[in-house]
Amino acid sequence: MAANKSNRASSLAKSTGEIFTRKWPRLFFLVAAVQAIIVIVFEAYAFAQFQTGLRHMDGIKDWGSAERMEDGLAQIRTIPTFLGLLILGFLYDVVLAWDALRLKNTIQVIGLCIANLALLIYSALQIDQINVAITILQKYNAFKDHDVWEEVQGVLIAMPCIIALASVALSFLSWKLYQEFAWDILKHIGADYRMKKRFLHYQVYIALLKFDFFFFVGFTIQFLVVVGGKTSTEFALTAAAIPITIAILLCAALFTRREWKVGMIIIIVLYLGGLTYFIYKLERIFDPYEYKYYLPVRKSLTTFAVLTIVLIILTIVNALVCMFNFGAGLKQHLNSPPQEIDKDQASYSMHDVKQPQLPTRMTID
């Protein structure tokens, strides 16, 4: 047991060290990290300007009515929500970048580029929603002065520009990493075309699980902080969904690696339940009777709900593909050390996407 832990720690340190000793992995990680630092600093500045500009509003008397107070408090929670989500998003982005580079997971690297575009959309959406929140709060005389928007407008507009520039850089670097990681995958899986396809499906599925986590948690945080629940029971059930989701995703990865079909069937049923939940929440966002509760974060909630629905559908499809691949030998490859590949085998690389030539002898797959 102690020897296994020592080997894992040694392997983790070695794979992490390789990130910084190889050119393209190092550049990819640095771009992701610098982007995260800049955006977090800008978002923190906007939050500080917003918070210091607020007047102390104590009770209905200052707001004018209970309805105005409820609306005002919901708007006040908008900026902290965006701040928290973008901090979570970019910190998680850096962790996933480290994880993808350590594991040499090309699919996850490409997924990070797509996720960066989603964060770009989210950072662009926050400009309008924060502007609306500040305008409404100014109408309620909630600020000490009326220069808050002028103070934060510049950094809010700069954030999508920085993320867009980083997305272009990450996309170029992901192409370079695809070329570099092809050889590492070949050493681990071998030159078998069908086995490489199974490994590709496995990588896609594991990457989807990691992105599912962020978008589900992101939606739930917005719902809890800004919208809340109409009852304490609804609030508690929504909050409890976060640890339950983490447990489901961890089990999904474990069952796939262990090739346990019964467990996978249970997980797929739970995915269908999650899909139903998000479709229901999306319908409520546009329900005329529920509209006012979602107004402060309506656009961002809709974006997160739609992206999560798409991700769940893709996850279900890939879960089925992985389950159909059970028993075909991938499990042994995942748990075995990298193979030594000779030069003839190396010519048959991960860059080959066409069907291989027929073997000279009969094989049974």
Arithmetic mean of pLDDT, 141-157: 85
pLDDT band at 34 (very low <50, low <70, confident <90, very high): very high
The arithmetic mean of pLDDT across residues 126-145, rounded, is 83
Average pLDDT of the chain is 80
Do residue 228 and residue 272 come from a single domain? yes
Give yes or no: residues 199 and 184 share one domain. Answer: no
Q: Supply the range of the domain harboring residue 139.
A: 21-55+66-189
Is the pLDDT confidence value at 155 over 50? yes
- Report which of residues 244 and 71 the model is more confident about: 244
Q: What's residue 159's pLDDT? A: 94
364 occurs within a structural domain: no
Higher pLDDT pick, 301 / 227: 301
The three-state DSSP-derived secondary structure of the chain is CHHHHHHHHHHHHHHHHHHHHCHHHHHHHHHHHHHHHHHHHHHHHHHHHHHHHECCCCCHHHHCCHHHHHHHHHHHCHHHHHHHHHHHHHHHHHHHHHHHHHHCCHHHHHHHHHHHHHHHHHHHHHHHHHHHHHHHHHHCCCECCCCHHHHHHHHHHHHHHHHHHHHHHHHHHHHHHHHHHHHHHHHHHCCCHHHHHHHHHHHHHHHHHHHHHHHHHHHHHHHHHHHCCCCHHHHHHHHHHHHHHHHHHHHHHHHHHHCCHHHHHHHHHHHHHHHHHHHHHHHHHCCCCCHHHHHHHHHHHHHHHHHHHHHHHHHHHHHHHHHHCCCCCHHHHHCCCCCCCCHHHHCCCCCCCCCCCCCCCCCCC
Mean pLDDT, residues 103-108:
86
Tell whether the model's pLDDT for residue 154 goes beyond 80: yes
Is the model's pLDDT at 172 over the cut of 90? Answer: yes
- Find the mean pLDDT for residues 200-217: 90
pTM of structure = 0.77
Examine residue 349 and state whether it is found in any structural domain, yes or no.
no
Same domain, 331 and 271: yes
Q: Mean pLDDT throughout 48-76?
A: 75
pLDDT band at 349 (very low <50, low <70, confident <90, very high): very low
Among 155, 189, 223, residue at a domain's last position: 189
